[in-house]
Amino acid sequence: MDLGNLNPTIESLGEAKIPSPILKEKIAGQAQYFVSDEDLICVSVRPGEIEAKIAQGEPLPAFELAGPRRDIYFDPSKLRCAIATCGGLCPGLNDIIRAIVLELYYHYGVKNIYGIRYGLQGFISDYGHDFMDLTPSVVSLILNMGGSILGSSRGPQDIELIVDSLERSNIGLLFMVGGDGTLMATSKIADAITRRGLKIGVIGIPKTIDNDIHLVSRSFGFDTAVQVATGAIKGAHNEAKGYPNGIGLIKLMGRHSGFIATTAALAQQDVNFVLIPEIDFDLHGPGGVLEALERRLAASDHAVIVVAEGAGQKYFSEEEDERDESGNIRLKDIGQLLKREISAYFESKSIDISLKYIDPSYMIRSLPANANDSVFCGFLGRDAVHAGLAGKTKLLIGHWNNHFVHIPLSASVGKRKQVLSHGKLWRTVLEATGQGSLVSGQAKG
C-alpha cells in the first residue's frame, strides 16, 4: 500500500474552547472516555517496519484516534447541521443518519439538524427539494428501512452553488455520506469553504458496498452484501447439483475491486471459479475459463462461478464506452456475456448443460443493514459528530487496525483499494476453489 508521506494532522476551524456537554453526563470511567489529538493509531503494524522507521529517525505514519474531545469548537445551542447521502444506495445509510441525529440531539444538545434531499441536488434551488427537519422522532424507527430516508442522486453539481446554499442556510457543520465520487465532491466543497474564509466544518463518512476506499479497512454495507451474496451462492449451488452438468453463475457487485466476490466465496465455499477485475483471465484456449469449466463438469458434474461486475471488461470494445451521470464508465454486463459464451461453448461440443444465472445486486443495495453493519454504522455516525463538534474538518471517519480514526480527505480521495494478486485474500481464494490461473497457456497452478 502506497502511504507516501502520510501526515495525520487534521485541519481545524479554530481552537476548541467550549467544555463538551458530555462532561455533564454521568458516564462511568468518564476520565477515560475522552481522547486527545495526541492519541494516534499506527498505519502499519508489520513486523520490522516500525523498528526500521524508528532506527532511521523517521516519523511513523499514523491516524488520529476518533472519539469525543473534552473541549469543542461549536456552541451547540447555535449550531445548524446538515446531512447528505449521495451516490448509489447501500445498506446502513439510515443507520448512519439515525446515529448522527441522536448523537447531536441528545448528547450535544444540537436541535437544528437538516437532511439534504436527493444528494447534492438538494443544495441547488433549481431542483426544488426542500430540506428535511431531522429530529429523534423522525429517525427513531428507520433502522429497519432500506435505502435512505433522504434519497440520493448521482452526477456533479456546481460547487460554488452548494457553498452558497450552506452559507445562506447558516449551516456550520456538514456531514457527507458517500463513495469515492462523493468524497471528491466533499473535498472540493471543503476547499471552496476555505477559500471563502467560512467557518463550516465538513466531515465525510465513506460509503461503498464494494469496500474499495483507500485507507479504509472496512466500509459499512459490505458485511450485509457478503451475507446476502452467500445466500445467492447457496441457491446457485443447489440448482447446479440438482441437474446433470449443472452450472450456477452469480454476478456480484464490484466495479473495480473484487472484495465482495472473494469474501462471499470464502464464506460459502461451494464456489469453483471466482472472476474479479484485478485478476486477468481468458475465456478461450488451453487453461481458459471454458476449458477449465469443462474439466470441472467432467470430474464433478456441477460447477459454481462467481463473477464481479467489473471483471472481464477487456471483452468489450472501448468504442462502446458510455458514462453515467457521475462520469463513471458504464460497465458492460460480464454476467450476460459469460452466460452466452458458456452456452455456445458447450453447444459446440454437443454437451448438454443446465445453466442458472443469478444477479442479486440491486436487491442487496436497497436492503436494511444486518446486525454487524448496524453496529458499525453507529460508531461511524457518532465519531463523525465528535469530530465535527470539535471543529475538525476535511476528514473522513475510517476504521483502521481495529480503531475508528480520522483520515485526511486528501490522503484517501482519488485512490482505490483493490484485491492484491499476491495477497492473502486472493491466495486463500485460489486454495479454496482450486481454480489456479485461468490465463490461456499458463500452468494451472
Catalytic residues: 210
* Whole-number Å distance between alpha carbons of 87 and 66: 25
Three-state secondary-structure class, residue 134: coil
Beta pairing, strands 173-178 & 201-206: parallel
Chain-centroid distance, C-alpha 302: 34
CA 369 to CA 224: how far, in whole Å?
Answer: 6
Instruction: Report yes or no: 310 and 277 within 8 Å, Cβ to Cβ.
Output: yes
The C-alpha atoms of residue 49 and residue 144 are separated, in whole angstroms, by 44
8 Å CB contact between 234 and 269: no
* Whole-number Å distance between alpha carbons of 249 and 269: 14
* 207/177 Cα distance (integer angstroms): 6
**Grid coordinates of 122:** 438538494
DSSP assignment string, 170-208 = T--EEEEEE-HHHHHHHHHHHHHHHHHT---EEEEEEB-
Element (H, E) at 261: helix 259-267
Taking the alpha carbons at both ends of the chain, their separation in whole angstroms is 26
- Any bridge partners for residue 385, and if so which? none
Whether residue 346 contacts residue 246, with contact meaning beta carbons closer than 8 Å, is answered with no
Looking at residue 329, its amino acid is I
> What would the grid cell of residue 422 be?
499476491
Rounded to 5°, the CA angle 80-84-85 comes to 155
